[in-house]
Amino acid sequence: MLSHNPPPFHAEHMGSLLRPSKLLDQRTKFARGEIDRTELTEAEDEAIKNALGLQERVGLKFATDGEFRRRSYHSFFYRQLGEISIDTVGGEDAKGGEPGRRAAQPVARINSPGPCALHFRGGDGAVLAHAYTDLDEFWDDIVEAFRHELDALGAAGCRYVQIDETAFAKFGDAEVRQWLHARGDDWSALIDKYITVTNRVLKNAPSDMAIGMHLCRGNRGGQWPSEGSYDEVADRLFNALNIQFYFLEYDTPRAGTFAPLRLVPRHKTVVLGVVSTKTPTVESKAYMMKRVESATRYIDPSNLAVSPQCGFASVDTGNPISPVVQEQKLKLIVELAHDIWGDA
């Protein structure tokens, strides 16, 4: 059944799913020139249809295409920005794609990389090395590109967008802060800059579009390049950033305690990423219930939802788990939502 409530839903996931081996084989053949774009698209379509079936089967109220037309969560979008080459699939990369037309169609969600990730990777030096002589011009172009993306998604009928931002959560890592300082960045000022830029992107977004932000510490192949709590960014993240809801990673003690959630305003929602996509062990539902209960010491249950901490395949090679375990973890999320809130 279609949900009459706006996103986020009580049971969520981060978008990417394990690529079927058949699709990976076809993509390899395409890169070698052994099949054409039409044959690859047919393989993608078939895989996406099965991914939609998976999401419906476990009881989710929304659906993504599993990011099956992308090599990584950011590959298509970054390629459209110009002479940037980051993990794009060989040949003509395809768009994220719509989850498809169905009689009982779930809410379609599209994932987009965050507007500050490019700057975070290289800082001012990388921006000014070749293409730009003025930082303000760079940021203006970033804002324009992301605004255009939201407008285009809205025009296509998309009403649910998740922004995957890899910068904000990493500010909680002392080693990351030292790295930023070494390259000449004031990490605290950088937080303010990124919030300002993101708010500029969001300012003219379609008014009926639900937009959430996933704060990622890294997930490639099940790895974690950073750690640290949300304490350093929580107040500004929850109160200065004009985002409607947050997908926060809370799958291990590396994320810190739930205490920063006390700063979340009443009109915002937090999706707790308590189930891990990094390990093949399926978590105990009873323990996950206790984790959510611990969070309610700081935030009202009506402002919470649950999900895995990140995607199952931030890049096309995926995380070290099986499709069976992936489905079990998605089912666990839905069961948790039903047990806590009465629906997913």
What is the structure's pLDDT at 195? Answer: 97
301 — pLDDT class (breaks 50, 70, 90): very high
pLDDT at 228: 75
pLDDT in tens, 41-73: 999 999 999 999 999 999 999 999 999 998 866
Q: What is the pLDDT of residues 141-170, one digit of tens each?
A: 999 999 999 999 999 999 999 999 988 888
Residue whose C-alpha is closest to residue 253's, from 338, 198, 322, 172: 172
The first and second tokens of residue 199, run together, are: 């708010």
Picking from 107-116, 190-199, 289-298, which range would have the lowest pLDDT averaged per residue?
Answer: 107-116
- Mean pLDDT over the full length of the chain: 88
Per-residue pLDDT at 194 exceeds 50: yes
CA separation (Å) from 233 to 254, 261, 264, 302? Answer: 15, 11, 12, 23
pLDDT (tens digit per residue) in 264-280: 999 999 999 999 999 99
What is the model's pLDDT at position 131? 84
Burial class (CB in 10 A: 0-12, 13-18, 19+), 203: exposed
Residues with Cβ within 8 Å of 65's Cβ and at least 6 positions away in sequence, in order, are 48, 51, 52, 96, 97, 98, 99, 100
Q: Has residue 90 got a pLDDT over 90?
A: no
Beta-sheet strands, E only, within the chain? 62-63, 107-108, 110-113, 160-165, 210-215, 245-249, 269-275, 304-308
Cα 235 to Cα 191: distance, rounded to the nearest angstrom: 11
pLDDT classification of 342: cutoffs 50, 70, 90 = very high
Whether the Cβ atoms of residue 5 and residue 340 lie closer than 8 Å to each other: no
Q: How many residues does the chain have?
A: 344
Residue 83 has pLDDT above 80, yes or no: no
Instruction: Supply angle C-alpha 316, 93, 28, rounded to 5.
Output: 50
The pLDDT value recorded for residue 96 is 40
The pLDDT, as a whole number, for residue 6 is 83
Q: What is the pTM of this model?
A: 0.88
Residue predicted with more confidence, 225 or 271: 271
At residue 88 the predicted structure's pLDDT band, cuts being 50, 70 and 90, is very low
Tell me which of 99-103, 111-115, 184-188, 247-251 is least confident. Answer: 99-103
pLDDT at 97: 42
Question: pLDDT band at 197, cuts 50/70/90?
Answer: very high
pLDDT at 47: 97
Gap between the Cα atoms of 253 and 114, Å rounded? 25
**What confidence score (pLDDT) does residue 93 get?**
40
What average pLDDT score do residues 250-273 get?
A: 95
